[in-house]
Amino acid sequence: MTGPDHLPDTLGADRLSAPGGEPLLIVDAASWKRPGVPIQAVVIGVDRGGELPDVDGDDFDLLITAAASAPKPWTAADAGEFDRKVHRIADAVRTHPLAATTAAKVLRLAETLPLADALVVESLAYSTLLGGAEFARWLETNRAAAAAAATPAPVTIERSGDAVRVTLDDAPGRNAMTAAMRDALYEALANILDDPTRPALVLRGAGKCFSTGGALFEFGMARDLAEAHAVRTLHSCARALDALGPRATVFLHGACIGSGIEVAAAAYRRVAAPGSWFQLPELSMGLIPGAGGTATMARAIGRHRTMGMILTGERVDAAKALDWGLVHAIEPPR
């Protein structure tokens, strides 16, 4: 365990933060009680014995158990891999302490806010991290050498009766969510929202996968982070998709990474093809989800499991996604 021997006072709590040098607390879930003073460290409660103790989820950012079948908000880890998994998470938090602690705080806030407000909080935090040293380090070594070829129509729209089929249509680029695709998708969703006939929406992705998320060659291009925040919230595909309510269905297949699942998670009904998988890789870039994931994913699977996906960057397969509630059904592609 890395928790303190005693609960800190106000000044002592300062060290339990990224600036204070200890951004992480790994504590025994059964005995830990969050102190009465504010701390910014990520708090991970562990249950090595697989006993699933009765805990107050508010005291933790992530709960990990060795129990084979773990109910919400717990995340299960194989007993033989338990310590290695916890160590990998600890390394990730200490490598990107500002992004990790920011993710924890944003998720806690998102839980208390309406979706639209939670999206604003996420975007503010995301823009802040875009200006930080952790993202700058990633950008220095990972900036793509060249931009991908432009897609003439990154989104295609077809209407049949009282339904509109919207397709992310850049199969060669694996439907990477470029600014052009995001804007085209938002425009399509906005038009459906404004349509007085109230058509249903079916959202799909062309090619081998639904979407691999943000286009890496575009990361770091924004020079005015305040304006980037304003644009991100103005053209929020997640907010528009949520506003469609029961009219919206998304069909997911193959890789659904980053914004490729963050936006889709806002849909009222989510159907995955066998073999689909889901991932939130942003922490490795010194960032948090920026397309709505801290709000949409947390509403689907809970903030603790969302935090687990953020901290581990691990893939979640279709079966686990169904069990968690990230998708509502698994069906062969139509």
- Which pLDDT score, from 0 to 100, does residue 222 have? 79
Query: Residue 8: is its pLDDT beyond 90?
Result: no
255-265: per-residue pLDDT in tens?
A: 999 999 999 99
Q: Could you tell me where in the chain the CATH 3.90.226.10 domains are found?
A: 114-330
Q: What is the mean pLDDT of residues 207-234?
A: 89
- Which pLDDT score, from 0 to 100, does residue 12 have? 75
Beta bridge partners of 248: 201
Report the first-to-last Cα separation within the chain, whole angstroms.
Answer: 49
170 — pLDDT class (breaks 50, 70, 90): very high
Query: How high does pLDDT run on average in the chain?
Result: 92
Query: Residue 167: is its pLDDT beyond 60?
Result: yes
Query: Residue 149: is its pLDDT beyond 60?
Result: no
Q: Which of 59, 86, 62 is nearest to 73 (CA)?
A: 62
Structure tokens at 247: 């009219």
Residue pointed to by tokens 């199969």 = 171
334 — pLDDT class (breaks 50, 70, 90): confident
Query: Residue 147: is its pLDDT beyond 70?
Result: no
Q: What is the mean pLDDT of residues 186-193?
A: 97
- Which pLDDT score, from 0 to 100, does residue 325 have? 97
Q: What is the mean pLDDT of residues 22-41?
A: 91
- Which pLDDT score, from 0 to 100, does residue 13 have? 81
- Which pLDDT score, from 0 to 100, does residue 2 have? 58
Structure tokens at 183: 């804007």
CA–CA separation, 224 and 135 (whole Å): 15
Q: Considering Cα of 10, then 100, then 241, then 299, what sign does the dihedral take? A: negative
CA–CA separation, 86 and 245 (whole Å): 38
- Which pLDDT score, from 0 to 100, does residue 150 have? 57
Q: Is the peptide bond before 154 cis (omega within 30 degrees of 0)?
A: no
Give the number of other Cβ atoms within 10 Å of residue 87's Cβ. 11
CA–CA separation, 66 and 77 (whole Å): 5
Query: Residue 146: is its pLDDT beyond 60?
Result: no
235-247: per-residue pLDDT in tens?
A: 999 999 999 999 9
103-132: per-residue pLDDT in tens?
A: 999 999 999 999 999 999 999 999 999 999
Report the share of the chain in percent with pLDDT over 70.
Answer: 95
Q: What is the mean pLDDT of residues 127-151?
A: 80
Q: Considering Cα of 35, then 306, then 213, then 233, what sign does the dihedral take? A: negative
Residue pointed to by tokens 């439907």 = 175
CA angle (206 as vertex; 201, 209 as ends), nearest 5: 105
- Which pLDDT score, from 0 to 100, does residue 75 have? 96
- Which pLDDT score, from 0 to 100, does residue 144 have? 60
Residue pointed to by tokens 């339904």 = 163
- Which pLDDT score, from 0 to 100, does residue 234 have? 92
- Which pLDDT score, from 0 to 100, does residue 9 have? 75
Q: With contact defined as beta carbons under 8 Å apart, do 209 and 203 qualify?
A: no
| Phi and psi angles of residue 119, each rounded to the nearest 5 degrees, phi first | -65, -35
Residue pointed to by tokens 């158990």 = 65
More confident residue, 250 or 12: 250
- Mark residue 133 as left, alpha or beta (left: phi above 0; alpha: psi -120 to 50; beta: remaining): alpha
pTM across the whole model: 0.93
Report the CATH superfamily, name and number, of domain 114-330: 2-enoyl-CoA Hydratase; Chain A, domain 1 (3.90.226.10)
Query: Residue 7: is its pLDDT beyond 80?
Result: no
More confident residue, 6 or 194: 194
151 — pLDDT class (breaks 50, 70, 90): low
